[in-house]
Structure 1
Amino acid sequence: MTIDADNPAPVPAGGRRRETLSSQVIRTLADRIRQGEYSRGSQLPTEKVLIDELGVSRTVVREAIANLRASGLVSIQHGVGAFVRDDAGIPPFRLAPERLTMVENQLKGLELRIGIESEAAALAAERRTQVDLDAMAAVCDAMDDAIRDVVRDSQTDFEFHCAVAKASQNEHFFGIFNYLGETLMPRMRLQTKDVEDAVFQANLARVNAEHRLVLAAIAERNIDGARLAMRQHLTVSRDRMIERMRRGG
C-alpha cells in the first residue's frame, strides 16, 4: 500500500480539502488496530517498515504515531517502539450530560451507584483505618451544621460517600464514585431549590442519620452490615426519586 505523496491535499472544485498525508496514515493505522490486524498489546511495525509500505516520510509516520498516542490507541516504550494499548478501541465510560437532564436517566445513574457503593462500603468495613473513620465522622458533623444553616447543596453528602470510597483502600472505587458523584449530584441538588426549609432540613437529617448507620457498621468492621446500610441508604433515595416521577415533579 502506498499513499500518494505527490499531491496529498489538493482543493477539489467543491472547495473541500482532501485528507493530509498524516491524516491518511492515522486513519489507516487506526483502522488496522480496530479491525484487529494490529492486535492489542502487539508492537506496531517499525518506522522504516511503515515508511516503505505507505510511501511516506519519517515525519509523517511520527506525526501519525503521536496522534494515535494522544487518542489512546497506542503507547510508546522509549527505545523499543509503539505498542497497541490493551484498551485500544474501548470507549471510556461516561454519562452523557445532555441525557442526565432527564429524571429517568438520573435514576439509572443512582441504580449504578447502589451496586458500586454497597461493595465499597463492605470493603471499607474490612480495611478502614482510624484516619478513615475520623474523616467520615467529621463529614457527618459538617452535615449537621449544614442542616442547621439550611445549606442547599450536596457537598457534605458527596464528601461522605467519597470518604467511604477512600476507606475501601481501592482507588478505582474512589475514582468511579468521584466521577458519578460529580456528574449526578449537581443535578439532584437542583431538585431541592424550591423545597421549604423545614422539609429540606428533615430530609437532610434523615440522610445524615443513614450516613451514621453506614459509619457505625464500618467502625464495627461489620462487612455485611455496612453493605446493607449503604444499599438501604441509596435505595431510599432511589425510591424517593421514583415517587417524584410518579407525581410528575
Structure 2
Amino acid sequence: MATDIVGNLKVARKPKLSETVVDAIREQLRSGMIQPGQKLPTEGQLTEAFGVSRTVIREALATLAASGLVEPRQGAGVFVVEQISTAFGALTSEMGTKDSIALNVLEVRLAIEIESAGLAAIRRNAAQEAAIQEAFFEFDDLLLKSEPTGPADLAFHRAIASATNNPFYVEMLDVLGRRAIPCDVTSPWSTEIVQSDNYQRGLQREHLAILGAISAGDAETARNAMRLHLTASQKRYRERLQARQSFYKSASAVPSNK
C-alpha cells in the first residue's frame, strides 16, 4: 500500500537558476527587446539584474553560446549572433506568397511539434505545465476581449516546446516567430477569416485537447492531439485558398457593365 502511494507521487523538478536566466534572455531575443548583433550586459550587470551569482550567469551564457544564440568576443563581451536571423530572413524572401509561407510553416511545425507535445507530457515540471495553462487562458481572455490572440497562441506552443526540456524545440519556434501563428491581426500572414471568432474558438478547442493530454501525462494522446490540431490548420488553410480561387473565377465570369 505504502509503495503504491510513493509510486504515484510526482516530485516536480525545480528549474535551475541558470535555466531561468536562459529562458528570460531567450524571451527577450524572441520579442526583439535584444536585437541581433547587440552586446549583452556585462556579467556584473546580469548578476545584479537577475539577483544570482556570477557562476549562474556564466552557466546561462555558456548554454546560450552552445545553442548558437550568442558568442563571446575576447575583450569585448558577449554578443547576440546575427547569422540566424539573417539566414532565415533570406529564407522568408524565397518562400513565396503569404499563402505558401503559411502552408510551408505548418508543414515544418508538424515535423517539430507532434513530438514536442509527447515529450512535454512526459518531461514537464509543475512550473512548465503552469506556463502552458497560463498561455491557454491568456488566449481565452484575449478572445473574450476581441483582441489579437496571436501572441498567446505562440506562447502556448512555445511553452509546450519549453516543457520538453530540449532547448532546440524552443529555438525552432523562435526562428519561425510570427510566421508560426498566422491568426494574429498584426501578422502579415493573417487573413480576415482566421481573425474570426468562430475560427479562433475552434483553435481553442484543439488547444484544450492538447493541454488536457499533457496535464494527464499521456504522451501518445498529446501527440495525436497536436497532429490533429496542425493537420486541421492545414486543411482549413487549403479550403480558404480553394474558396478564394472559386470566388475569383465566378467574379471574372460576370459580364462587365461597360
* Aligned position for 1:107: 103
Residue identity matched to 1:131: A
2:154 touches 2:180 (CA, 8 Å); kept in 1? Answer: no
Q: Which structure has the larger Rg?
A: 1
Within-5 A mapping of 1:219-238: 219-238=215-234
Residue identity matched to 1:231: R
Within-5 A mapping of 1:1-249: 95-97=91-93, 99-185=95-181, 189-190=187-188, 192=190, 194-195=192-193, 200-248=196-244
Number of matched pairs: 162
2:99 touches 2:189 (CA, 8 Å); kept in 1? Answer: no
* Aligned-partner Cα distance in 1 for 2:191–2:241: 17
How far is the alpha carbon of 1:248 from its aligned partner?
Answer: 2.4
Residue identity matched to 1:194: E
Distance 1:146 1:100, change over 3 A: farther
Q: Deviations over 1:81-123 (max 9, x none)?
A: xxxxxxxxxx966632453534123212211101100011111
* Aligned-partner Cα distance in 1 for 2:151–2:219: 26
2:173 touches 2:180 (CA, 8 Å); kept in 1? Answer: no
Residue identity matched to 1:247: A
SS of 1:194's partner is coil
* Aligned-partner Cα distance in 2 for 1:93–1:191: 16
Give the TM-score normalised by structure 1: 0.57
Residue identity matched to 2:209: L
* Aligned position for 2:40: none
Residue identity matched to 1:141: F
1:148 touches 1:201 (CA, 8 Å); kept in 2? Answer: no
Q: Please, which runs of 5 or more residues in structure 2 have no aligned partner?
A: 1-67, 75-85, 246-258
Higher helix share: 2
Give the TM-score normalised by structure 2: 0.55
* Aligned position for 2:21: none
Residue identity matched to 1:143: F
Aligned residues: CA RMSD: 3.0
SS of 2:148's partner is coil
* Aligned-partner Cα distance in 1 for 2:101–2:190: 18
Question: Percent same amino acid among aligned pairs?
Answer: 30
